[in-house]
């Protein structure tokens, strides 16, 4: 698969939220004054407890929700300045991956991956070739004729990722993409998302309630609580020196669920040091 052109060059903002608020009728302030920037070619994680406003934030980025105030820019374009018609080409640059996969049960794997291409107007032969290439990229070549219920959870999510990628978007939005999966399958899906970022240059905005996912994949992270970003920064920095109590609790949960990374990577986020003899001491 070929990489899409990096919009505006590496590190340039692809997604920008400027003081965005989203208040739902009835008074829920789901997103409350959030500003953040996601650079081209990076993986940005948003972590927070249930109800923190993460899904609403993603829906603001693909224009499914309109902000009550503030602006959302994708690839330099202010979404609120675009009508429904103007949003269509922007949405084509954005792929979406969901926790529950959201596949068509009545379509085959190939049929699911073909669907967005046919919607985009590609002819049948070109769409089929593209869909097969994408299935190959996610490691599912030969599975095109199966139905979703004949697949494991991890395979279904690979189909979800293939369907999101098949139109060659510049941005992938992942809403709890691994939350329905066991730890090993989570690791495999994260490895695939890493390839999507590194090999295809796709910018990823991922939301999760698992800090372990942030550590495994993201360059930067924002921590959300009650609609606000309470802390943000480079993942390594945030793990090494969490400033907010909520961040510290997320970091602790990740450190307690994973072995020391120092033997493999040369450094460990929990701050363990080299043993006097025999390499790294385990951190716990």
Binding site for ligand ATP (CB under 6 A): 24, 26, 28, 30, 48, 50-56, 209
* Phi, psi of 83, rounded to the nearest 5 degrees: -80, -175
Q: Outline where 71-182 has alpha helix (H).
A: 84-92, 109-119, 124-137, 153-165
Integer Cα distance of 155 and 93 in angstroms: 24
Q: Residue 162 or 224: which CB sits closer to Mg ion?
A: 224
Out of Mg ion, ligand ATP, none, what residue 52 binds, judged by CB under 5 to 8 A for its kind, is ligand ATP
Strands 29-39 and 13-23: antiparallel
Structural Rg of the chain based on CA atoms: 20
User: In the bound complex, what is the minimum distance in angstroms from residue 274's beta carbon to ligand ATP?
Assistant: 38
Q: Residue 44 or 137: which CB sits closer to ligand ATP?
A: 44
Q: Residue 55 or 246: which CB sits closer to Mg ion?
A: 55
Return the structure tokens found at 73.
């820019």
Contact between residue 192 and residue 154 where contact means Cβ atoms under 8 Å apart? no
Out of Mg ion, ligand ATP, none, what residue 232 binds, judged by CB under 5 to 8 A for its kind, is none
Q: Residue 45 or 53: which CB sits closer to ligand ATP?
A: 53
User: In the bound complex, what is the minimum distance in angstroms from residue 227's beta carbon to ligand ATP?
Assistant: 7
Q: Residue 194 or 209: which CB sits closer to ligand ATP?
A: 209
Q: Residue 55 or 186: which CB sits closer to ligand ATP?
A: 55
Cα of 50 vs its chain's centroid, Å: 17
Binding site for Mg ion (CB under 5 A): 55
User: In the bound complex, what is the minimum distance in angstroms from residue 123's beta carbon to ligand ATP?
Assistant: 38
Going from the C-alpha of 22 to that of each of 31, 127, 222, the distances in angstroms are: 5, 37, 18
Out of Mg ion, ligand ATP, none, what residue 24 binds, judged by CB under 5 to 8 A for its kind, is ligand ATP
User: In the bound complex, what is the minimum distance in angstroms from residue 237's beta carbon to ligand ATP?
Assistant: 23
Cβ neighbours of residue 71 under 8 Å, at least 6 residues apart?
16, 17, 18, 19, 20, 78, 79, 80
User: In the bound complex, what is the minimum distance in angstroms from residue 54's beta carbon to Mg ion?
Assistant: 5
User: In the bound complex, what is the minimum distance in angstroms from residue 99's beta carbon to Mg ion?
Assistant: 8
Integer Cα distance of 247 and 253 in angstroms: 10
Residue 189 half-sphere exposure toward CB, CA atoms < 13 A:
29
Integer Cα distance of 59 and 138 in angstroms: 25
Out of Mg ion, ligand ATP, none, what residue 50 binds, judged by CB under 5 to 8 A for its kind, is ligand ATP
Out of ligand ATP, Mg ion, none, what residue 53 binds, judged by CB under 5 to 8 A for its kind, is ligand ATP
């Amino acid at each position: 698969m070929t990489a899409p052109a990096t919009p505006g060059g590496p590190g340039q903002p692809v997604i920008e939220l400027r003081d965005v608020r989203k208040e739902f009728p009835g008074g829920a302030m789901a997103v409350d004054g959030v500003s953040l920037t996601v650079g081209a070619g990076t993986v940005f994680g948003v972590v927070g407890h249930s109800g923190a406003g993460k899904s609403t934030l993603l829906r603001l980025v693909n224009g499914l929700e309109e902000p009550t105030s503030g602006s959302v820019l994708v690839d330099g374009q202010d979404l609120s300045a675009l009508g429904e018609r103007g949003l269509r080409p922007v949405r084509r640059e954005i792929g979406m991956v969901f926790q529950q996969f959201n596949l068509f049960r009545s379509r085959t794997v190939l049929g699911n991956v073909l669907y967005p291409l046919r919607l985009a107007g590609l002819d049948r032969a070109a769409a089929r070739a593209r869909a097969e290439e994408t299935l190959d990229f996610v490691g599912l070549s030969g599975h095109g004729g199966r139905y979703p219920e004949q697949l494991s959870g991890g395979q279904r999510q690979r189909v979800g990722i293939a369907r999101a990628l098949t139109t060659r978007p510049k941005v992938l939005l992942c809403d709890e993409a691994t939350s329905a999966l066991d730890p090993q399958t989570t690791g495999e899906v994260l490895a695939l998302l890493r390839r999507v970022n590194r090999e295809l240059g796709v910018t990823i905005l991922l939301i999760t309630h698992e800090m372990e996912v942030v550590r495994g994949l993201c360059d930067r992270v924002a921590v959300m609580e009650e609609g606000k970003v309470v802390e943000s920064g480079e993942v390594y920095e945030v793990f090494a020196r969490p400033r907010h109590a909520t961040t510290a609790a997320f970091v602790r949960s990740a450190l307690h669920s994973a072995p020391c990374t120092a033997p493999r990577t040369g450094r460990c986020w929990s701050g363990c040091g080299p043993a006097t003899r025999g390499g790294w001491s385990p951190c716990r």
